[in-house]
A and B are shown apart, each in its own frame.
Chain A
Protein backbone atom coordinates (compact mmCIF):
# COMPACT_ATOMS: atom_id res chain seq x y z
CA UNK A 1 0.00 0.00 0.00
CA UNK A 2 2.86 2.40 0.79
CA UNK A 3 4.22 1.69 -2.66
CA UNK A 4 0.88 2.70 -4.11
CA UNK A 5 0.75 5.91 -2.11
CA UNK A 6 4.33 6.88 -2.97
CA UNK A 7 3.85 6.21 -6.65
CA UNK A 8 0.62 8.19 -6.70
CA UNK A 9 2.37 11.17 -5.14
CA UNK A 10 4.97 10.98 -7.91
CA UNK A 11 2.33 10.67 -10.60
CA UNK A 12 0.45 13.65 -9.22
CA UNK A 13 3.55 15.76 -9.66
CA UNK A 14 4.84 14.27 -12.93
CA UNK A 15 1.51 14.35 -14.70
CA UNK A 16 0.30 17.59 -13.09
CA UNK A 17 -2.89 15.84 -12.11
CA UNK A 18 -5.81 17.95 -11.02
CA UNK A 19 -7.93 15.05 -9.84
CA UNK A 20 -7.36 11.45 -8.92
CA UNK A 21 -10.13 8.89 -8.65
CA UNK A 22 -9.30 6.01 -6.34
CA UNK A 23 -10.52 3.97 -3.40
CA UNK A 24 -10.36 4.47 0.32
CA UNK A 25 -11.48 2.38 3.26
CA UNK A 26 -15.24 2.12 3.61
CA UNK A 27 -17.36 2.33 6.74
CA UNK A 28 -18.45 -1.30 6.58
CA UNK A 29 -16.17 -4.35 6.82
CA UNK A 30 -15.04 -5.70 3.43
CA UNK A 31 -16.15 -2.51 1.70
CA UNK A 32 -14.02 0.15 0.09
CA UNK A 33 -15.51 3.37 -1.16
CA UNK A 34 -14.58 5.65 -4.08
CA UNK A 35 -12.65 8.81 -3.28
CA UNK A 36 -11.87 11.79 -5.46
CA UNK A 37 -8.76 13.63 -4.34
CA UNK A 38 -7.40 16.86 -5.70
CA UNK A 39 -4.03 17.00 -4.06
CA UNK A 40 -1.13 14.64 -3.49
CA UNK A 41 -1.43 15.46 0.20
CA UNK A 42 -4.51 13.25 0.36
CA UNK A 43 -2.78 10.31 -1.33
CA UNK A 44 -2.32 8.67 2.06
CA UNK A 45 -6.02 7.88 2.09
CA UNK A 46 -5.76 5.62 -0.94
CA UNK A 47 -5.96 1.87 -0.74
CA UNK A 48 -6.19 -0.95 -3.23
CA UNK A 49 -7.26 -4.43 -2.25
CA UNK A 50 -9.93 -7.02 -2.85
CA UNK A 51 -12.62 -4.79 -1.32
CA UNK A 52 -12.35 -2.29 -4.18
CA UNK A 53 -15.38 -3.38 -6.17
CA UNK A 54 -16.70 -0.16 -7.73
CA UNK A 55 -15.90 0.70 -11.34
CA UNK A 56 -14.28 4.11 -11.05
CA UNK A 57 -14.56 4.82 -14.78
CA UNK A 58 -18.09 5.82 -13.94
CA UNK A 59 -16.71 9.01 -12.38
CA UNK A 60 -14.77 9.96 -15.50
CA UNK A 61 -17.98 10.63 -17.31
CA UNK A 62 -19.35 12.66 -14.43
CA UNK A 63 -16.22 14.71 -14.46
CA UNK A 64 -16.99 15.55 -18.06
CA UNK A 65 -20.57 16.41 -17.27
CA UNK A 66 -19.48 18.82 -14.57
CA UNK A 67 -17.69 20.74 -17.30
CA UNK A 68 -14.31 19.63 -16.08
CA UNK A 69 -13.22 17.48 -18.97
CA UNK A 70 -10.17 19.62 -19.55
CA UNK A 71 -8.83 18.56 -16.18
CA UNK A 72 -6.04 16.00 -16.09
CA UNK A 73 -7.59 13.10 -14.26
CA UNK A 74 -5.83 10.08 -12.89
CA UNK A 75 -7.74 6.91 -12.28
CA UNK A 76 -6.81 3.77 -10.39
CA UNK A 77 -7.87 1.00 -12.71
CA UNK A 78 -8.37 -2.72 -12.35
CA UNK A 79 -8.30 -4.65 -15.62
CA UNK A 80 -12.01 -4.26 -16.27
CA UNK A 81 -12.08 -0.61 -15.21
CA UNK A 82 -9.20 0.20 -17.54
CA UNK A 83 -11.06 -1.39 -20.44
CA UNK A 84 -14.04 0.77 -19.56
CA UNK A 85 -11.83 3.85 -19.72
CA UNK A 86 -10.57 2.83 -23.17
CA UNK A 87 -14.10 2.24 -24.37
CA UNK A 88 -15.16 5.67 -23.09
CA UNK A 89 -12.29 7.32 -24.94
CA UNK A 90 -13.26 5.39 -28.10
CA UNK A 91 -16.78 6.72 -27.71
CA UNK A 92 -15.52 10.27 -27.50
CA UNK A 93 -16.48 10.79 -23.88
CA UNK A 94 -13.02 11.76 -22.78
CA UNK A 95 -9.80 12.75 -24.49
CA UNK A 96 -7.01 10.23 -24.23
CA UNK A 97 -4.42 12.80 -23.15
CA UNK A 98 -6.62 14.00 -20.29
CA UNK A 99 -6.84 10.66 -18.51
CA UNK A 100 -3.91 8.98 -16.79
CA UNK A 101 -4.66 5.28 -16.37
CA UNK A 102 -2.92 3.85 -13.33
CA UNK A 103 -3.22 0.10 -13.61
CA UNK A 104 -3.22 -2.08 -10.51
CA UNK A 105 -3.11 -5.89 -10.40
CA UNK A 106 -6.46 -7.38 -9.48
CA UNK A 107 -7.01 -10.82 -8.02
CA UNK A 108 -10.73 -10.42 -7.75
CA UNK A 109 -13.00 -8.24 -5.62
CA UNK A 110 -15.70 -8.98 -3.09
CA UNK A 111 -19.27 -8.68 -4.29
CA UNK A 112 -21.25 -7.04 -1.45
CA UNK A 113 -24.40 -8.79 -2.66
CA UNK A 114 -22.77 -12.21 -2.42
CA UNK A 115 -21.55 -11.34 1.05
CA UNK A 116 -25.05 -10.33 2.10
CA UNK A 117 -26.44 -13.57 0.71
CA UNK A 118 -23.88 -15.69 2.55
CA UNK A 119 -24.64 -13.90 5.80
CA UNK A 120 -28.41 -14.43 5.37
CA UNK A 121 -29.34 -11.09 6.88
CA UNK A 122 -26.63 -10.86 9.52
CA UNK A 123 -23.76 -8.40 9.32
CA UNK A 124 -20.11 -8.73 10.20
CA UNK A 125 -17.95 -6.54 12.37
CA UNK A 126 -14.60 -7.86 11.27
CA UNK A 127 -12.82 -10.31 9.00
CA UNK A 128 -9.50 -12.03 8.64
CA UNK A 129 -7.78 -13.22 5.49
CA UNK A 130 -5.67 -16.35 5.56
CA UNK A 131 -4.46 -17.07 2.06
CA UNK A 132 -7.44 -18.43 0.18
CA UNK A 133 -9.68 -18.46 3.26
CA UNK A 134 -11.59 -15.57 4.74
CA UNK A 135 -13.01 -15.75 8.24
CA UNK A 136 -15.95 -13.48 8.94
CA UNK A 137 -16.70 -12.34 12.48
CA UNK A 138 -20.07 -11.09 13.66
CA UNK A 139 -21.78 -10.58 17.00
CA UNK A 140 -22.05 -14.12 18.26
CA UNK A 141 -21.03 -15.93 15.08
CA UNK A 142 -18.10 -16.84 12.92
CA UNK A 143 -18.10 -18.01 9.32
CA UNK A 144 -15.20 -19.34 7.30
CA UNK A 145 -15.40 -19.09 3.55
CA UNK A 146 -13.21 -19.56 0.53
CA UNK A 147 -12.21 -16.34 -1.17
CA UNK A 148 -13.86 -17.49 -4.37
CA UNK A 149 -17.21 -17.76 -2.59
CA UNK A 150 -17.21 -14.01 -1.99
CA UNK A 151 -15.63 -12.80 -5.20
CA UNK A 152 -17.85 -11.35 -7.87
CA UNK A 153 -18.95 -13.78 -10.60
CA UNK A 154 -17.33 -11.37 -13.04
CA UNK A 155 -14.00 -11.93 -11.33
CA UNK A 156 -14.32 -15.71 -11.40
CA UNK A 157 -14.63 -15.56 -15.19
CA UNK A 158 -12.24 -12.66 -15.69
CA UNK A 159 -9.90 -12.65 -18.67
CA UNK A 160 -8.25 -9.28 -18.20
CA UNK A 161 -7.24 -8.77 -14.58
CA UNK A 162 -4.64 -6.19 -15.52
CA UNK A 163 -5.11 -3.01 -17.49
CA UNK A 164 -4.39 -3.70 -21.14
CA UNK A 165 -3.90 -0.01 -21.85
CA UNK A 166 -2.32 2.14 -19.18
CA UNK A 167 -0.01 5.03 -18.44
CA UNK A 168 1.44 3.44 -15.31
CA UNK A 169 1.22 0.01 -13.76
CA UNK A 170 1.87 -0.36 -10.04
CA UNK A 171 2.80 -3.82 -8.83
CA UNK A 172 3.20 -7.23 -10.42
CA UNK A 173 0.57 -8.19 -13.02
CA UNK A 174 -1.96 -10.69 -11.72
CA UNK A 175 -2.87 -14.00 -13.32
CA UNK A 176 -6.49 -14.47 -14.38
CA UNK A 177 -8.28 -16.31 -11.63
CA UNK A 178 -9.30 -19.04 -14.02
CA UNK A 179 -11.87 -20.35 -11.58
CA UNK A 180 -14.43 -20.61 -14.29
CA UNK A 181 -14.34 -20.30 -18.04
CA UNK A 182 -15.69 -16.97 -19.22
CA UNK A 183 -18.96 -18.15 -20.70
CA UNK A 184 -19.48 -21.36 -18.72
CA UNK A 185 -22.43 -20.01 -16.73
CA UNK A 186 -24.10 -18.83 -19.91
CA UNK A 187 -23.50 -22.13 -21.74
CA UNK A 188 -24.86 -24.10 -18.80
CA UNK A 189 -27.93 -21.92 -18.63
CA UNK A 190 -28.60 -22.28 -22.34
CA UNK A 191 -29.04 -26.02 -21.82
CA UNK A 192 -32.33 -25.36 -20.05
CA UNK A 193 -35.61 -25.31 -21.97
CA UNK A 194 -36.92 -21.95 -23.24
CA UNK A 195 -39.76 -21.96 -20.72
CA UNK A 196 -37.38 -22.70 -17.87
CA UNK A 197 -35.17 -19.85 -18.97
CA UNK A 198 -38.09 -17.43 -19.25
CA UNK A 199 -39.29 -18.49 -15.81
CA UNK A 200 -35.83 -17.75 -14.41
CA UNK A 201 -35.71 -14.27 -15.88
CA UNK A 202 -39.24 -13.55 -14.71
CA UNK A 203 -38.34 -14.67 -11.23
CA UNK A 204 -35.20 -12.53 -11.14
CA UNK A 205 -36.68 -9.41 -12.68
CA UNK A 206 -39.85 -9.57 -10.58
CA UNK A 207 -37.65 -8.60 -7.62
CA UNK A 208 -36.60 -5.40 -9.39
CA UNK A 209 -37.70 -2.13 -7.81
CA UNK A 210 -36.37 0.04 -10.66
CA UNK A 211 -33.92 1.87 -8.45
CA UNK A 212 -31.50 1.96 -11.42
CA UNK A 213 -28.51 1.28 -9.19
CA UNK A 214 -27.34 -1.13 -11.91
CA UNK A 215 -27.61 1.50 -14.62
CA UNK A 216 -26.03 4.27 -12.57
CA UNK A 217 -23.12 2.14 -11.39
CA UNK A 218 -22.26 1.32 -15.01
CA UNK A 219 -19.63 3.53 -16.68
CA UNK A 220 -21.28 2.85 -20.04
CA UNK A 221 -24.64 4.28 -19.05
CA UNK A 222 -23.99 7.98 -19.47
CA UNK A 223 -26.84 9.19 -21.69
CA UNK A 224 -28.10 12.63 -20.79
CA UNK A 225 -31.58 11.18 -21.01
CA UNK A 226 -31.99 7.48 -20.44
CA UNK A 227 -34.71 5.80 -22.50
CA UNK A 228 -36.64 5.08 -19.32
CA UNK A 229 -36.87 8.80 -18.62
CA UNK A 230 -38.03 9.79 -22.09
CA UNK A 231 -41.63 10.92 -22.01
CA UNK A 232 -42.06 11.69 -25.71
CA UNK A 233 -42.68 8.89 -26.30
CA UNK A 234 -42.77 7.03 -23.02
CA UNK A 235 -41.33 3.67 -23.94
CA UNK A 236 -42.05 1.85 -20.71
CA UNK A 237 -43.94 2.59 -17.54
CA UNK A 238 -41.98 3.86 -14.56
CA UNK A 239 -43.51 1.59 -11.96
CA UNK A 240 -42.52 -1.97 -11.19
CA UNK A 241 -44.85 -3.69 -13.65
CA UNK A 242 -43.09 -6.89 -14.67
CA UNK A 243 -43.40 -6.44 -18.42
CA UNK A 244 -41.98 -2.91 -18.24
CA UNK A 245 -39.20 -4.07 -15.96
CA UNK A 246 -38.17 -6.95 -18.20
CA UNK A 247 -38.04 -4.60 -21.16
CA UNK A 248 -35.88 -2.17 -19.17
CA UNK A 249 -33.33 -4.90 -18.57
CA UNK A 250 -33.40 -6.23 -22.13
CA UNK A 251 -32.93 -2.78 -23.62
CA UNK A 252 -30.17 -1.84 -21.20
CA UNK A 253 -28.33 -4.98 -22.27
CA UNK A 254 -28.87 -4.07 -25.93
CA UNK A 255 -27.62 -0.54 -25.34
CA UNK A 256 -24.45 -1.80 -23.64
CA UNK A 257 -23.89 -4.62 -26.15
CA UNK A 258 -20.28 -4.67 -27.27
CA UNK A 259 -19.47 -1.99 -24.70
CA UNK A 260 -19.83 -3.93 -21.49
CA UNK A 261 -16.55 -5.00 -19.88
CA UNK A 262 -18.22 -7.27 -17.32
CA UNK A 263 -16.86 -5.41 -14.32
CA UNK A 264 -19.82 -6.67 -12.28
CA UNK A 265 -20.65 -3.22 -10.90
CA UNK A 266 -24.29 -3.64 -11.93
CA UNK A 267 -24.80 -6.89 -10.04
CA UNK A 268 -22.86 -5.61 -7.04
CA UNK A 269 -24.92 -2.42 -6.89
CA UNK A 270 -28.26 -4.23 -6.93
CA UNK A 271 -29.77 -4.12 -3.43
CA UNK A 272 -31.83 -7.22 -4.13
CA UNK A 273 -29.15 -9.56 -5.52
CA UNK A 274 -30.80 -9.86 -8.92
CA UNK A 275 -28.78 -11.80 -11.50
CA UNK A 276 -28.20 -8.72 -13.63
CA UNK A 277 -25.27 -10.17 -15.57
CA UNK A 278 -26.71 -13.32 -17.11
CA UNK A 279 -28.39 -11.73 -20.14
CA UNK A 280 -25.57 -9.29 -20.80
CA UNK A 281 -22.99 -12.05 -20.63
CA UNK A 282 -24.76 -14.01 -23.36
CA UNK A 283 -24.88 -10.91 -25.54
CA UNK A 284 -21.20 -10.26 -24.86
CA UNK A 285 -20.48 -13.80 -26.04
CA UNK A 286 -22.45 -13.17 -29.22
CA UNK A 287 -20.59 -9.95 -29.96
CA UNK A 288 -17.25 -11.67 -29.42
CA UNK A 289 -18.07 -14.69 -31.55
CA UNK A 290 -20.08 -13.04 -34.27
CA UNK A 291 -18.17 -9.78 -34.70
CA UNK A 292 -14.80 -10.68 -33.21
CA UNK A 293 -14.82 -7.68 -30.88
CA UNK A 294 -13.99 -7.33 -27.22
CA UNK A 295 -14.57 -3.98 -25.55
CA UNK A 296 -11.75 -1.75 -24.40
CA UNK A 297 -8.63 -3.55 -25.59
CA UNK A 298 -7.17 -0.84 -27.81
CA UNK A 299 -7.78 2.71 -28.91
CA UNK A 300 -8.14 1.94 -32.61
CA UNK A 301 -10.73 -0.79 -33.21
CA UNK A 302 -14.22 0.53 -33.84
CA UNK A 303 -16.75 -0.78 -31.29
CA UNK A 304 -18.75 -3.62 -32.84
CA UNK A 305 -22.21 -2.09 -32.62
CA UNK A 306 -21.02 1.16 -34.18
CA UNK A 307 -19.57 -0.64 -37.16
CA UNK A 308 -20.49 -3.31 -39.65
CA UNK A 309 -18.96 -5.77 -42.04
CA UNK A 310 -20.45 -6.48 -45.43
CA UNK A 311 -19.86 -10.14 -44.75
CA UNK A 312 -21.57 -10.33 -41.36
CA UNK A 313 -23.35 -13.64 -40.86
CA UNK A 314 -27.04 -13.48 -41.59
CA UNK A 315 -28.22 -17.01 -41.02
CA UNK A 316 -31.09 -15.71 -38.88
CA UNK A 317 -32.56 -13.66 -41.73
CA UNK A 318 -35.42 -15.29 -43.59
Chain B
Protein backbone atom coordinates (compact mmCIF):
# COMPACT_ATOMS: atom_id res chain seq x y z
CA UNK B 1 0.00 0.00 0.00
CA UNK B 2 1.76 3.10 -1.24
CA UNK B 3 0.35 5.76 1.03
CA UNK B 4 0.09 3.66 4.15
CA UNK B 5 2.05 5.14 6.99
CA UNK B 6 2.06 2.65 9.86
CA UNK B 7 1.76 3.69 13.48
CA UNK B 8 4.37 1.92 15.57
CA UNK B 9 4.54 1.90 19.36
CA UNK B 10 7.99 1.59 20.82
CA UNK B 11 8.83 0.77 24.45
CA UNK B 12 12.37 1.83 25.29
CA UNK B 13 14.20 1.03 28.48
CA UNK B 14 15.41 4.21 30.13
CA UNK B 15 19.05 3.28 30.63
CA UNK B 16 20.04 1.81 27.29
CA UNK B 17 17.58 1.98 24.46
CA UNK B 18 16.06 5.34 25.28
CA UNK B 19 19.55 6.80 25.59
CA UNK B 20 20.45 5.16 22.32
CA UNK B 21 17.43 6.76 20.68
CA UNK B 22 18.44 10.08 22.15
CA UNK B 23 21.92 9.65 20.73
CA UNK B 24 20.41 9.01 17.30
CA UNK B 25 18.54 12.26 17.62
CA UNK B 26 21.51 14.28 18.78
CA UNK B 27 23.61 12.82 15.99
CA UNK B 28 20.96 13.90 13.50
CA UNK B 29 20.54 10.40 12.17
CA UNK B 30 17.42 10.18 9.98
CA UNK B 31 14.89 7.47 10.63
CA UNK B 32 11.18 7.04 9.84
CA UNK B 33 8.95 9.19 12.06
CA UNK B 34 6.22 6.58 12.44
CA UNK B 35 6.96 5.54 15.95
CA UNK B 36 5.68 6.84 19.26
CA UNK B 37 7.94 6.18 22.23
CA UNK B 38 7.06 5.12 25.74
CA UNK B 39 9.97 5.19 28.17
CA UNK B 40 10.05 2.40 30.74
CA UNK B 41 12.59 1.83 33.51
CA UNK B 42 13.50 -1.58 32.13
CA UNK B 43 12.45 -3.86 29.29
CA UNK B 44 11.32 -6.20 32.07
CA UNK B 45 8.64 -3.66 32.95
CA UNK B 46 6.88 -4.36 29.70
CA UNK B 47 3.84 -6.52 30.38
CA UNK B 48 2.54 -8.43 27.36
CA UNK B 49 -0.77 -6.71 28.10
CA UNK B 50 0.81 -3.39 27.04
CA UNK B 51 1.70 -4.88 23.68
CA UNK B 52 -1.70 -6.47 23.18
CA UNK B 53 -3.51 -3.27 24.11
CA UNK B 54 -1.49 -1.38 21.53
CA UNK B 55 -2.55 -3.84 18.87
CA UNK B 56 -6.11 -3.58 20.08
CA UNK B 57 -5.97 0.18 19.87
CA UNK B 58 -4.98 0.13 16.22
CA UNK B 59 -1.20 0.31 16.31
CA UNK B 60 0.21 -1.53 13.32
CA UNK B 61 3.38 -2.64 15.04
CA UNK B 62 5.02 -2.74 18.46
CA UNK B 63 8.71 -2.74 19.28
CA UNK B 64 10.26 -3.33 22.68
CA UNK B 65 13.92 -2.53 23.13
CA UNK B 66 16.15 -3.04 26.12
CA UNK B 67 19.74 -3.36 27.32
CA UNK B 68 21.98 -6.10 25.99
CA UNK B 69 22.06 -9.23 28.15
CA UNK B 70 24.51 -8.65 30.96
CA UNK B 71 24.16 -4.87 30.84
CA UNK B 72 20.77 -4.43 32.48
CA UNK B 73 20.72 -1.56 34.94
CA UNK B 74 18.62 -3.75 37.22
CA UNK B 75 20.92 -6.74 36.64
CA UNK B 76 18.41 -9.31 35.39
CA UNK B 77 15.33 -7.43 34.13
CA UNK B 78 16.14 -8.07 30.52
CA UNK B 79 16.76 -11.78 31.14
CA UNK B 80 13.29 -12.14 32.60
CA UNK B 81 11.91 -10.07 29.75
CA UNK B 82 13.64 -12.29 27.21
CA UNK B 83 11.75 -15.33 28.45
CA UNK B 84 8.44 -13.46 28.52
CA UNK B 85 8.91 -12.11 25.02
CA UNK B 86 9.85 -15.53 23.61
CA UNK B 87 6.60 -16.96 24.92
CA UNK B 88 4.54 -14.00 23.76
CA UNK B 89 5.98 -14.16 20.27
CA UNK B 90 5.39 -17.92 20.13
CA UNK B 91 1.78 -17.53 21.20
CA UNK B 92 0.99 -14.70 18.79
CA UNK B 93 2.68 -16.27 15.79
CA UNK B 94 1.09 -19.63 16.49
CA UNK B 95 -2.29 -17.91 16.39
CA UNK B 96 -1.43 -16.44 13.00
CA UNK B 97 -0.35 -12.92 13.94
CA UNK B 98 2.21 -11.67 11.43
CA UNK B 99 5.73 -12.01 12.94
CA UNK B 100 6.76 -8.55 11.83
CA UNK B 101 4.21 -6.76 13.99
CA UNK B 102 5.66 -7.48 17.42
CA UNK B 103 9.44 -7.20 17.61
CA UNK B 104 12.18 -7.05 20.23
CA UNK B 105 15.68 -5.66 20.15
CA UNK B 106 18.70 -4.89 22.30
CA UNK B 107 20.03 -1.38 21.79
CA UNK B 108 22.65 0.11 24.04
CA UNK B 109 23.09 3.75 25.01
CA UNK B 110 25.91 4.12 22.51
CA UNK B 111 24.10 2.53 19.58
CA UNK B 112 22.39 5.51 17.99
CA UNK B 113 23.03 4.14 14.53
CA UNK B 114 21.66 0.72 15.45
CA UNK B 115 18.55 2.29 16.92
CA UNK B 116 17.75 4.08 13.69
CA UNK B 117 18.35 0.88 11.76
CA UNK B 118 16.03 -1.08 14.01
CA UNK B 119 13.28 1.51 13.64
CA UNK B 120 13.72 1.58 9.88
CA UNK B 121 13.61 -2.17 9.63
CA UNK B 122 10.49 -2.48 11.78
CA UNK B 123 8.71 0.36 9.98
CA UNK B 124 9.52 -1.06 6.54
CA UNK B 125 8.37 -4.49 7.61
CA UNK B 126 5.07 -3.22 8.99
CA UNK B 127 4.51 -1.05 5.93
CA UNK B 128 4.65 -4.13 3.75
CA UNK B 129 2.26 -5.99 6.06
CA UNK B 130 -0.30 -3.24 5.83
CA UNK B 131 -2.65 -1.96 8.51
CA UNK B 132 -3.16 -4.25 11.48
CA UNK B 133 -6.60 -5.79 11.59
CA UNK B 134 -6.44 -8.90 13.70
CA UNK B 135 -6.84 -7.65 17.25
CA UNK B 136 -8.26 -4.23 16.56
CA UNK B 137 -11.23 -3.20 18.65
CA UNK B 138 -13.18 -0.40 17.13
CA UNK B 139 -16.15 1.41 18.59
CA UNK B 140 -18.06 0.01 15.63
CA UNK B 141 -17.69 -3.47 17.03
CA UNK B 142 -19.88 -2.36 19.87
CA UNK B 143 -22.80 -1.66 17.57
CA UNK B 144 -25.69 -3.82 18.56
CA UNK B 145 -26.23 -6.28 15.74
CA UNK B 146 -29.77 -5.21 14.94
CA UNK B 147 -29.24 -1.53 14.44
Contacts and interface: CB of A to CB of B under 8 A. Distances in A.
Interface of A: 186, 190, 193-199, 201, 227, 235-237, 241-244, 246-247, 250-251, 253-254, 257-258, 279, 282-283, 286-287, 290-291, 304-305, 307-310, 312-314, 316-318
A198 B97 contact: yes
Given A235-B53, A247-B56, A310-B79, A254 B104 contact: no
Given A243-B137, A243-B141, A313-B86, 5 more contacts: A194-B98, A235-B49, A250-B52, A250-B91, A257-B87
Contact of A197 (B96, B103, B142): B96
B95 A308 contact: no
A201 B88 contact: no
A251 B91 CA distance: 10
A283 B93 CA distance: 11
Interface string B74-106: 001001101111111111111111100001111
Contact of A254 (B88, B94, B135): B88
Interface in B88-140: 88-98, 103-106, 118, 121-122, 134-137
A247 B141 contact: no
Contacts of A250: 48, 52, 91-92, 95
B52 A247 contact: yes
A305 B97 contact: no
Contacts of B76: 308
Contacts of A227: 49
B70 interface: yes
Interface of B: 48-49, 52-53, 56, 69-70, 76, 79-80, 82-98, 103-106, 118, 121-122, 134-137, 141-142
Nearest to A194: B96
Nearest to A199: B96
25 contacts: A236-B56, A237-B137, A241-B142, A242-B141, A243-B136, A243-B137, A244-B56, A247-B52, A250-B52, A250-B95, A251-B49, A254-B91, A257-B87, A283-B94, A290-B86, A291-B83, A304-B83, A305-B83, A307-B83, A308-B76, A308-B79, A310-B69, A312-B82, A317-B106, A318-B104
Nearest to A281: B94
A266 to B, nearest CB: 16
B96 A198 contact: yes
A310 B137 contact: no
Contacts of A258: 87
B84 A305 contact: yes
A195 B130 CA distance: 14
A196 B86 CA distance: 22
Given A198-B95, A253-B91, A282-B91, A312 B83 contact: yes
Contact of B87 (A194, A244, A305, A317): A305
Please provide the 7 A-B residue pairs with the shortest distance between their CB atoms, ordered closest to farther. Answer: A198-B96, A243-B137, A308-B79, A197-B96, A194-B96, A318-B105, A286-B90
Contacts of A316: 85-86, 89, 104
A287 B87 contact: yes
A310 B70 contact: yes
B104 A308 contact: no
Given A198-B95, A317-B82, A286 B87 contact: yes
A308 B121 contact: no
Given A201-B95, A291-B83, A318-B103, A251 B52 contact: yes
Contacts of B86: 286, 290, 312-314, 316
B141 A241 contact: yes
In this complex, the member of B79, B90, B121 whose beta carbon has the largest number of chain A beta carbons within 10 angstroms is: B90
Contact of B91 (A279, A290, A308): A279
A131 to B, nearest CB: 38
A237 B83 CA distance: 28
A221 B87 CA distance: 18
